[in-house]
Chain A
Amino acid sequence: MDTDANGADFTSAAAAPRNSASAAVTCGTEPPPVGSASQGAAVDVDIQSVLSIALERPAVSFGNATTGSTPTPVSERLTVTSNNAAGYSVTAHRTAFQPADLPLGIAGTAPAGGQIGPALAGGAMAAIPIPPVADLLVGTTAARSATAGDVWDTRLGFTAPLPVVPAGRYTATVTFTVIGR
């Protein structure tokens, strides 16, 4: 009880300072936790749909050829990347060769999980149509592509021996179209 008389309320004692050299003293009980709390941090990301196509080469040359011969097909690998769960389809069409048309075709194999178009089944060389004829179905998938993309191992060639046409340089354009399903 405080008597308001310091001489009665307090007694003096020798100072007992402590430092790192002092003997350690173990606490009798666990210290109360230092103010701790846990809080979840919400993390989210919106992954956008993506569709990508890449070509092995921007142009194909069959070199020198003669009437009646069938030039060796040239590889034109397509790499398609898509994260659409329903997959995608690849089609092709072309312009007519100038100055006269030649029977350009395509053959190929599908990547794992892909399905080659019916006209290309069994390694067949299918004619590439000229609009307004509908595009040729190269193939379809029904799932997301591989991380590095699906590789369609296609080859451009001719469906028949070259017809009798005037000598000269013949050019055309092939268009590969990819659309998510």
Chain B
Amino acid sequence: MSRATSLAVVTLMLVLVPAPAGAGTTRPPLGLTATPARVALAGTGKASVRITNPGRGAVVVDVGRAGFSLDLRGRPRVVARAGPRAATAWLTVQPGRFVLPAGATKWLTVSSRLPRRVEPGDHDALILLTTRPWRSAGVAVRMRIGVVVVVRAPGRVVRSVAVRALRVRRAGHARTLELVLANRGNVTERVDAARVRLLLVRKGGRASVRAETRELRPGTNGVVQFRYRGRLAGWVTARVRLTLEPGRPVISRTFRVKL
């Protein structure tokens, strides 16, 4: 019996076998969980990812690799063409396909092998876990989870972020201030409320606005969003303070924006 046929037989058997007792009351019909959802590897190395099926039925999971990027506002994307800092080709994942009965767990091994010549710093890729659709259905629905893998290549780490601009975007009553940053270093930077602060000052009032957390891949520009629902309106002075890590110089910029 071929590998594909035996997998199909096992899948059919698992689908026909009822889920364990007590599993059906709160379990969703179909589910998939990955932990950790983000893997960091130091150069050539290995890590394990735990895949669990919290659903009521068995699932067949296909494992693949893909390029990873973040759009200007930090939303992740699956990209077919690998960028200059892609680690896609360096990764191997085992197993490449498996059957996961209801409530069962499987461990994946993610391995990275660096090429001889590689730029120091962070390189990333996605491990895509995709469930097989139910072929008998009219419109079959399948799930896909992207596990982000960041591989840090050895060498000098450069951390450098520049503050480029601040602009205001309006949607109804809500105003979103968008701070444009450029990561000129070679490692992924996490920007959050502890690292970047925004103070709005106007005659007779001031407000501190909290940054939304995001990551900024090396060599890319990105927008950090601050949602403001306060009373300040009109032209204000906006003071930005950015600290990448404790002990490093604070980057300060002042802008004039109209709320």
A149 to nearest B CB, angstroms? Answer: 9
| Nearest CB of chain B from residue A63's CB, rounded to whole Å | 9
Contact B28 A172 (CB under 8 A): no
For A, the interface residue count at a CB cutoff of 8 angstroms equals 47
B94 interface residue (CB < 8 Å to A): no
Quick check: is A162 within 8 A (CB to CB) of the other chain?
Answer: no
CB-based contact B31/A52 at 8 Å: yes
A82-119 to B contact mask, C-beta < 8 Å, 1/0: 10111111000000000000001000000000000000
CB distance from A4 to the nearest CB of B (A): 77
**Per-position binary interface string of chain B over residues 135-161, scored 1 when its CB falls under 8 Å from any chain A CB and 0 otherwise:** 011111111111110000000000000
Whether B55 pairs with A57 at a CB distance below 8 angstroms is: no
Is B142's CB under 8 angstroms from A174's CB?
A: yes
A179: chain B residues at CB < 8 Å are: 76, 78, 126, 145-146, 148
| B108-149 contact mask (Cβ, 8 Å, vs A): 1 or 0 | 000000000000000000101010011011111111111110
Chain A facing B: main interface SS:
strand
Residue ID in chain A nearest B215 by CB atoms: A86
Contacts of B141 in A (CB 8 A): 55, 57-60, 76, 156, 173-176
A124 contacts partner chain B, Cβ-Cβ < 8 Å: no
**Please, how many angstroms separate the alpha-carbon atoms of A88 and B77 in the complex?**
11
A143 and B74 alpha carbons, distance in the complex (Å): 13
- With contacts A58-B134, A181-B76 known, is A84 near B37, CB below 8 A? yes
User: Nearest CB to that of B139 among chain A residues?
Assistant: A60
**CB atoms of B31 and A85 under 8 A apart:** no
Q: A49-B38, A50-B37 are in contact. Are A55 and B133 (CB under 8 A)?
A: no
Contact flag A85-B192 (CB < 8 Å), given A55-B30, A104-B139, A175-B142:
yes
Could you list 10 A-B pairs, sorted by A, with CB under 8 Å? A51-B33, A52-B54, A54-B55, A58-B29, A86-B215, A134-B77, A172-B140, A177-B144, A178-B146, A179-B146
20 more A-B residue pairs beyond the given contacts A50-B37, A58-B29, A86-B74, with a C-beta to C-beta distance below 8 A: A52-B54, A53-B32, A53-B143, A55-B29, A59-B136, A59-B139, A60-B137, A60-B139, A85-B213, A171-B137, A171-B139, A172-B140, A174-B139, A174-B140, A176-B143, A176-B144, A179-B76, A179-B145, A179-B146, A181-B70
Question: Using a CB–CB distance below 8 Å, which chain A residues touch chain B?
Answer: 48-62, 76, 79, 81-82, 84-89, 104, 132, 134-135, 137, 140, 142-143, 156, 169-181
